Amino acid sequence: MPTSTPVNEGAPRRLRADAERNRARVLNAARELFAERGAHVSMDEVARLAEVGIGTLYRHFPTKEAMVEAASQQRYGEILTYYRTVCAEVPEPVRALRMLLTRIAEVEVRDRGFASVVVEGTLGSAGPRSDLRADLEAEIVELTDRARASGDIRPEVTGTDVLCLTSGLTAVIQRRAGDWDRYLDIMLLGLSTP
Amino acid sequence: MPTSTPVNEGAPRRLRADAERNRARVLNAARELFAERGAHVSMDEVARLAEVGIGTLYRHFPTKEAMVEAASQQRYGEILTYYRTVCAEVPEPVRALRMLLTRIAEVEVRDRGFASVVVEGTLGSAGPRSDLRADLEAEIVELTDRARASGDIRPEVTGTDVLCLTSGLTAVIQRRAGDWDRYLDIMLLGLSTP
Amino acid sequence: MPTSTPVNEGAPRRLRADAERNRARVLNAARELFAERGAHVSMDEVARLAEVGIGTLYRHFPTKEAMVEAASQQRYGEILTYYRTVCAEVPEPVRALRMLLTRIAEVEVRDRGFASVVVEGTLGSAGPRSDLRADLEAEIVELTDRARASGDIRPEVTGTDVLCLTSGLTAVIQRRAGDWDRYLDIMLLGLSTP
Amino acid sequence: MPTSTPVNEGAPRRLRADAERNRARVLNAARELFAERGAHVSMDEVARLAEVGIGTLYRHFPTKEAMVEAASQQRYGEILTYYRTVCAEVPEPVRALRMLLTRIAEVEVRDRGFASVVVEGTLGSAGPRSDLRADLEAEIVELTDRARASGDIRPEVTGTDVLCLTSGLTAVIQRRAGDWDRYLDIMLLGLSTP
DNA sequence: GATGAATGAGGTTTCATTCAT
DNA sequence: AATGAATGAAACCTCATTCAT
């Protein structure tokens, strides 16, 4: 079972109230802008939308990359929270898996375009995985194990396979958002015992 | 049936021999560089690797985007040629489909990283589709129709569904190259009649 | 004879004990950092090494320049103290001069790189001279006068000449630290009566 | 005898006429601005004075540091040219040495403030020496050897000693320009046989 | 047609200084 | 008095594109 990290959105230290608020504003601005305009959003634009000086932005995140990473973490945190509060209750693993993947898809749809900023860091990709992403992936793997154990999916299907399909799912949303439920149906069919 | 465009890599008019050669050099350089370094390759670098002046490069392609688009076309042309010379002979549509998708995957693996440059224009995505991409997609749709007709895949599966899954396939290669054959297996299983 | 300023490191008024301690911490941090990394040290770094908030730093010194100036003063104070406690006893002016210059060199070696921060304000330079620097220069001039009077150095040598050579001495240490004693030898030879 | 490098101001390749002209304009602008305002001159300002786009400036010199280095080289080239055309004729080594040092001083006076930009790279300093600087230093060393051989300066004086004094000379000019001839007199006295 | 020098808007990042807590 | 978060001007540098040679 994955380590039950408390999902605190990654703020490393205790911050003054206003600092915490600014951090959140920046992260939201970043998510919003990336979501709608893809990768080529400038730091100045993020700062402007967050109504924060550019210096403040850099105080919170030493680098553009760091900021993107943090926004990314935030999204994983959101999904994890959902999973732990809702899916965890569901007894049938395949149903829980479908719920989780659906949630992932919904977040992806909402933040469409965000993914293109972090291709190297998207769910299921290779490359160094951040804390919350690792946790989320661990949950998926575990769910797969349970589903296999209960005989709901084919015995040769591994957790890695499901991560791989998940990765495809988010990409499909980025490219042809409307069709993602068809994708999900077909993939789950491909996994299930006949 | 798809319009049977001759696959001549998109050169619009008769060019002097050396001009044609330069065009090809540029396109290859672009493909190579994008493949290995992803999106942030400059026009100067492309020109340098192509051993061509930057001015020459711009004579052939008015814009960076146009150049990327052309390189993209080249790749689709390559796949189309393969399809028309090899797959078209194969009588069983599902086998032909698997062959085609495998070829697509192989090209994708070879040019790994290229996709990240043209997210907006990859196979199966929404957005304006170029000539050769449209042709290729049409072939996939047609193959799907034949497979459905022959009862090899489920009756409710549409050509669009397969395009959608194909789009996921290329994305998976970009993100976790090693697993693409598992993806293909599961996907085809999901499509097939039980 | 130079005005006998008490060498109290320039703290203008009675400060609370902890304030005084903070002032000293900042000054030491500044000296240390400038010494080892030259000019491009930020105020934040100074504050961090001093274990003091940046605000506190600015309470003590209204400006970076002011802080540098104060650190500079501190160094002159150190040399003056040495001079007044040790050299002043020495009866032969040339020997006293050599001792003083040696001390200056030693401090310069210890704080190598510091000089590059205060080029405009180094010993013997033009530009507005601070209190303690003025005092130190006055001592050098006076020592020169005594040496000339006692016939140890050439009659046409002025105090200004020696200041000028001293200025060269500190520069040489900054640029080729190892050779400063050769410089001193040759310089004193050039001053002395044949 | 130092290798007789032709003094071509360091332009590495054949350039188009206009490029060569721009290169020179930039270098002159840089020298002028650094001379009058010291180190904190921005690249934009240099470009503006040179009446050249900022991009052009960076095409010629990939880095601010590289540009400073090139301007520095130019100055050494200037001095070397003088040395080779004028001093080399003079039979008495000490007189030639004084002429050379005087020239160095004059250039330093003209470009006052320039030195502060390149402390790490000034004549006689430690650190990686550029081609022309190395050549110039070699000339100084050779001159010293000849002067020692002819008995004009003390037998224990080395070329290194003279480099060291030269380094002091340029620093003195930076700090108290007016007095440099006194410095030169005294130092040469210190070197000479009694 | 080909070349590569020139352009300059715009990107990321730093840092001295101010001010709310 | 002390703190450290916030500020934003300005620095350096990149790169798609234009144009003189």
| A176 interaction partners in chain B (CB closer than 8 Å) | 124-126, 163-164, 167
Strand F bases contacted by the protein (CB, 7 Å): 1-21
**A63 Cβ contact partners less than 8 Å away, ≥ 6 residues apart:** none
pLDDT digits (tens, 9 = 90+) for D20-32: 999 999 999 999 9
Which of C87, C61, C84, C85 is CA-nearest to residue C72? C61
Strand E bases contacted by the protein (CB, 7 Å): 1-21
pLDDT at D115 (0 to 100)? 76
Q: What are phi and psi of B2, to 5 degrees?
A: -65, 145
Chosen for mutation from A186, A188, A191, A193 (greatest number of chain B CBs closer than 10 Å) is: A186
What does the DSSP assignment read for C103-129? Answer: HHHHHHHHTTTSGGG-GGGSTT-SSPP
Is B73 or A16 the better-scoring residue by pLDDT? Answer: B73
- Nearest nucleotide to A56, CA against C1' atoms: F6
C-beta contacts of A103-106 below 8 A and 24+ residues apart: A103/A79, A104/A79, A104/A166, A104/A169, A104/A170, A105/A169, A105/A170, A105/A173, A105/A180, A105/A181, A105/A184
Radius of gyration of chain D (CA): 18
Please tell me the class of the D65-191 domain: mainly alpha
* Binary contact (C186, D183; C-beta < 8 A): no
pLDDT at A6 (0 to 100)? 43
The rounded distance, in Å, linking the Cα atoms of A74 and B193 is: 41
Say which of C161, C172, C194 has its CB closest to residue D182: C161
Band (D124; pLDDT cuts 50, 70, 90)? low
Please say if the pLDDT value at position B85 is more than 60: yes
| A125 interaction partners in chain B (CB closer than 8 Å) | 175-176
* Binary contact (B176, A167; C-beta < 8 A): yes
pLDDT digits (tens, 9 = 90+) for A125-170: 555 557 888 899 999 999 999 999 999 999 999 999 999 999 999 9
The rounded distance, in Å, linking the Cα atoms of C186 and B139 is: 90
- Residues of C within an 8 Å Cβ radius of D: 39, 116, 119, 122, 124-126, 157, 160-161, 163-165, 167-172, 174-177, 179, 182-183, 185-191, 194
Please say if the pLDDT value at position D110 is more than 60: yes
**Chains touching B by CB (3 or more pairs below 8 Å):** A
Is D120 or B64 the better-scoring residue by pLDDT? Answer: B64
pLDDT digits (tens, 9 = 90+) for D164-182: 999 999 989 988 767 899 9
The rounded distance, in Å, linking the Cα atoms of B8 and D25 is: 50
Q: Is the CB of C65 under 7 A from strand E?
A: yes
Chosen for mutation from D104, D116, D176 (greatest number of chain C CBs closer than 10 Å) is: D176
pLDDT at C54 (0 to 100)? 96
Please say if the pLDDT value at position C14 is more than 80: no
**Contact criterion met (CB below 8 Å) for C163 and C137:** yes
Please say if the pLDDT value at position A15 is more than 70: no
Say which of A168, A177, A194 has its CB closest to residue B172: A168
Please say if the pLDDT value at position B148 is more than 60: yes
Please say if the pLDDT value at position C80 is more than 50: yes
Q: What are phi and psi of A192, to 5 degrees?
A: -75, 155
pLDDT at C41 (0 to 100)? 93
Please say if the pLDDT value at position D16 is more than 80: no
Say which of B124, B167, B176 has its CB closest to residue A124: B176
Distance of C1' in E21 from CA in C11, Å:
29
Say which of A160, A167, A186 has its CB closest to residue B190: A186
Please say if the pLDDT value at position C181 is more than 50: yes
Please tell me whether residue A123 adopts helix, strand or coil conformation.
coil
Say which of D39, D167, D175 has its CB closest to residue C125: D175
Radius of gyration of chain A (CA): 18
Band (C113; pLDDT cuts 50, 70, 90)? confident
DSSP state of B5: -
Please say if the pLDDT value at position D1 is more than 70: no
| D141 interaction partners in chain C (CB closer than 8 Å) | none
E2 C1' closest Cα residue: B56
Q: How far is CA B122 from CA B76, B106, B114, B142, B158, in A?
A: 10, 15, 10, 19, 19
Band (D125; pLDDT cuts 50, 70, 90)? low
The rounded distance, in Å, linking the Cα atoms of B135 and B137 is: 5
Please tell me whether residue C158 adopts helix, strand or coil conformation.
coil
Instruction: Determine if residue A27 is left, alpha or beta; phi over 0 gives left, psi from -120 to 50 gives alpha, anything else beta.
Output: alpha
Please say if the pLDDT value at position C10 is more than 50: no
* Percentage of residues of chain C with pLDDT beyond 70: 85
pLDDT digits (tens, 9 = 90+) for A88-133: 889 999 999 999 999 999 999 999 878 776 655 555 555 555 788 8
Please say if the pLDDT value at position D129 is more than 80: no
pLDDT at D45 (0 to 100)? 96
DSSP state of D128: P
Helix axes A17-37, A43-50, angle to 10 degrees: 120
What does the DSSP assignment read for chain D? Answer: --------TT--S---HHHHHHHHHHHHHHHHHHHHH-S---HHHHHHHHT--HHHHHHH-SSHHHHHHHHHHHHHHHHHHHHHHTGGG-SSHHHHHHHHHHHHHHHHHHTTTSGGG-GGGSTT-SSPPPHHHHHHHHHHHHHHHHHHHTTSB-TT--HHHHHHHHHHHHHHHHHHGGGHHHHHHHHHHHHB--
The rounded distance, in Å, linking the Cα atoms of C45 and C194 is: 52
pTM of the model: 0.84
pLDDT at A11 (0 to 100)? 42
Please say if the pLDDT value at position C5 is more than 50: no
- Nearest nucleotide to D61, CA against C1' atoms: F13
The rounded distance, in Å, linking the Cα atoms of C54 and C64 is: 11
pLDDT digits (tens, 9 = 90+) for C81-100: 999 998 888 999 999 999 99
What does the DSSP assignment read for A148-190? Answer: HHTTSB-TT--HHHHHHHHHHHHHHHHHHGGGHHHHHHHHHHH
Gap from C33 CA to chain D (nearest CA, Å): 18
pLDDT at D95 (0 to 100)? 93
- Nearest nucleotide to B45, CA against C1' atoms: F15
Please say if the pLDDT value at position C130 is more than 90: no
Please say if the pLDDT value at position B123 is more than 70: no
Do chains B and A touch by CB distance (3+ pairs < 8 Å)? yes
Please say if the pLDDT value at position B46 is more than 90: yes
Average pLDDT on D63-76 reads 91
Band (A46; pLDDT cuts 50, 70, 90)? very high
The rounded distance, in Å, linking the Cα atoms of A68 and C138 is: 60
Tokens of A189: 């069919």
| C170 interaction partners in chain D (CB closer than 8 Å) | 171
Q: Is the CB of D67 under 7 A from strand E?
A: no
